[in-house]
């Protein structure tokens, strides 16, 4: 017979599970822009688990986030009322009631296509992230029962950020890459969009009902591309062309999916425009530069990795880019502000605050 003490512990556990379940769960899929540390547990070079990464994170230590501090999922999580960010799915601490907060499946280096990021070897490609989501749902069902698990998933917010690597670490990775010999750029973009559509439908079939889909940033204007492909300080025209072809077709595809389903499951975020605002006029947003990375080496601090041997700026808030590819925490805050409250120029069909307010009335 159970003791009164053990019954009390069980009652408290069930009460805390019920309280957490009231908050909206948050699931994250995609690449290094949203990876919170899954790659720490994988044999890969695509990692951010050593200093100076995390220098401005609350602990002051690297976590696997490709940021000086908080990343986009951290900041969205705060906005939707989560007490803490969902853990990386591969974290050994991810168990028990932590499952009710959601999970981060993202993995640096991945793309829409399975052959993107082959140089990083052991990363969680998109098909694997979706397999782990199914495994997560089974684990959650074991914790709270199938009915409640389905409810957690259907009421959750999902963020998916993927696509940039399909250009940077695939089509344009090397001159005459396999994909660039196979497809012209317009044909490659159409192929990516058709493959991405399949991924989004898999998420829908897995139970996701509110999915925030981000486009690519201004691919040709990140410090890495200025250093490698830029023209006398200008952005790489070829990568900018890729982004300008891809992003409108992504919105079009999402609109088509919503029309087919009959409701606005997918919300598109125009992250290219969000980035372009501070890339084209950094001073208006309090940055001194949007060309030079805070951490790196070579022209624009855009070559190689951010390491303890790299140049490191003293004030990260003055830099739009933290490392050769990734925005600083301050830039991430500006992006999330537009995701939450931006106009239709930035968010389609509407911003996340409006969606959340609408959902709370259902």
Active site amino acids = 32, 323, 326
Length of the chain: 362
Backbone angles phi, psi at 289, to 5 degrees: -150, 145
Distance CA 355, CA 337 (A): 14
**Does a cis peptide bond (omega within 30 degrees of 0) precede residue 52?**
yes
Distance CA 167, CA 111 (A): 9
Burial (CB < 10 A; 0-12, 13-18, 19+), residue 203, is buried
Under 8 Å between Cβ of 354 and 325:
no
Backbone angles phi, psi at 321, to 5 degrees: -115, 130
Widest pairwise Cα distance in the chain: 78
- Cβ neighbour number for residue 201 with a 10 Å cutoff: 13
133: left (phi over 0), alpha (psi -120 to 50) or beta: alpha
């Amino acid at each position: 017979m159970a003791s009164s003490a053990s019954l009390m512990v069980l009652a408290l556990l069930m009460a805390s599970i019920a309280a957490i379940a009231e908050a909206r769960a948050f699931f994250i899929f995609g690449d290094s822009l949203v990876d919170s540390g899954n790659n720490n547990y994988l044999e890969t070079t695509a990692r951010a688990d050593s200093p100076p990464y995390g220098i401005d994170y609350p602990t002051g230590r690297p976590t696997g986030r490709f940021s000086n501090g908080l990343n986009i999922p951290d900041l969205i999580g705060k906005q939707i009322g989560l007490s803490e960010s969902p853990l990386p799915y591969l974290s050994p601490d991810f168990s028990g009631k932590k499952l009710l907060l959601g999970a981060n499946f993202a993995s640096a280096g991945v793309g829409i296509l399975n052959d993107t990021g082959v140089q990083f070897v052991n990363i969680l490609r998109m098909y694997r992230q979706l397999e782990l989501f199914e495994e997560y749902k089974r684990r959650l069902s074991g914790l709270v029962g199938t009915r409640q698990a389905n409810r957690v998933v259907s009421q959750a917010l999902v963020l998916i950020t993927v696509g940039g690597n399909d250009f940077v670490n695939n089509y344009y990775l090397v001159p005459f890459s396999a994909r660039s010999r196979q497809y012209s750029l317009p044909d490659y973009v159409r192929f990516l969009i058709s493959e991405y559509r399949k991924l989004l439908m898999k998420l829908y079939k897995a139970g996701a009902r509110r999915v925030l889909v981000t486009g690519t940033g201004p691919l040709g204007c990140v410090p890495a591309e200025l250093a490698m492909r830029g023209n006398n300080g200008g952005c790489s025209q070829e990568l900018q062309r890729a982004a300008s072809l891809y992003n409108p077709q992504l919105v079009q595809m999402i609109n088509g999916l919503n029309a087919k389903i009959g409701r606005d499951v997918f919300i598109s975020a125009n992250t290219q425009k969000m980035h372009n605002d501070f890339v084209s006029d950094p001073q208006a947003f309090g940055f001194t530069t949007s060309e030079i990375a805070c951490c790196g080496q070579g022209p624009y601090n855009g070559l190689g990795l951010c390491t303890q041997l790299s140049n490191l700026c003293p004030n990260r808030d003055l830099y739009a880019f933290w490392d050769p590819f990734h925005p600083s925490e301050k830039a991430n805050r500006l992006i999330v502000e537009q995701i939450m409250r931006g106009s239709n120029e930035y968010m389609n069909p509407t911003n996340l605050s409006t969606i959340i307010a609408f959902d709370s009335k259902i």
